Amino acid sequence: MEVKVQAIDHRDIFYPPGGILLWLIIILELITFGLGIAGLVYYGRIEPEVFHQSRLQLNSFIGTVNTMVLLISGYFMANTIVKHKSGDIIATRKYLKWTILGGMLFVGLKCYEYVEKLTGNLELEDNMFFTFYWLMTGFHLAHVLVGLVILSFSWWHLKTNPSSVQGADLESGAAFWHMCDLIWLFLFPSLYLIF
């Protein structure tokens, strides 16, 4: 099954890969999470011992596995775009399915980690470290869930009516998904390792 793909000149400032609106969102999200991380570091300097003890209560093994899961999912997403550009819809669908499954695994592991924290009575208002932990990982998880909805929607359309899925639409979904990667790549060391 093959479809024709229209080429876009990404060198044009108004047409970055994924679209200008999505890239504005990406830049704003990176700034927002960056400010969150700066706040975490600021309070970490005020209460270094509290932050160190709190950090030790996080499960860095799950954090590491989740990082790898998200990276592998990102790899499948990158291949999804490559295959769609080559017009191979069956392979596009296959890679997109694995991307979604990777995302679901990330959500599952995150939920397990949350349950672990809640049963250990490590809640939002315990201290500033856990306030940042719950808010930042929670907002990130919300982004992953939105990404999963977008990708599932694309996958469904690829299955039912492949010609309706434009390369630009798929690239936008991919850019959103990789944005979740980018944010997590800074959240993971900031929360799980450095304090």
Q: DSSP per residue over the chain, as a string?
A: ---------TTSTT--TT-HHHHHHHHHHHHHHHHHHHHHHHHHHHSHHHHHHHHHTS-HHHHHHHHHHHHHHHHHHHHHHHHHHHT-HHHHHHHHHHHHHHHHHHHHHHHHHHHHHHHTT--TTS-HHHHHHHHHHHHHHHHHHHHHHHHHHHHHHHHH-GGG--HHHHHHHHHHHHHHHHHHHHHHHHHHT--
Q: What are the distances in angstroms from CA 27 to CA 21, 71, 179, 182?
A: 10, 20, 9, 11
What string marks each residue from 81 to 100 as x (binds other proteins by CB under 8 A) or -? xx------------------
What string marks each residue from 134 to 163 as x (binds other proteins by CB under 8 A) or -? ------------------------------
Mark the segment that binds other proteins (CB under 8 A) among 100-108, 138-146, 155-163, 169-177: 169-177
What string marks each residue from 16 to 55 as x (binds other proteins by CB under 8 A) or -? xxx----x--xx--xx--x--xx--xx-xx----------
**How many whole angstroms separate alpha carbon 91 and alpha carbon 130?**
42
Indicate the residue among 12 and 49 with the shorter CB distance to other proteins: 12
Q: Among residues 3, 5, 78, 150, which is the contact residue for other proteins, using CB under 8 A? A: 78
Mark the segment that binds other proteins (CB under 8 A) among 104-112, 120-128, 134-142, 180-188: 180-188
Q: Among residues 100, 136, 170, 175, which is the contact residue for other proteins, using CB under 8 A? A: 175
Chain contacts with other proteins (rule: CB under 8 A): 10-13, 16-18, 23, 26-27, 30-31, 34, 37-38, 41-42, 44-45, 60-61, 64, 67-68, 71-72, 74-75, 77-79, 81-82, 171, 174-175, 178, 181-182, 185-186, 188-190, 192-195
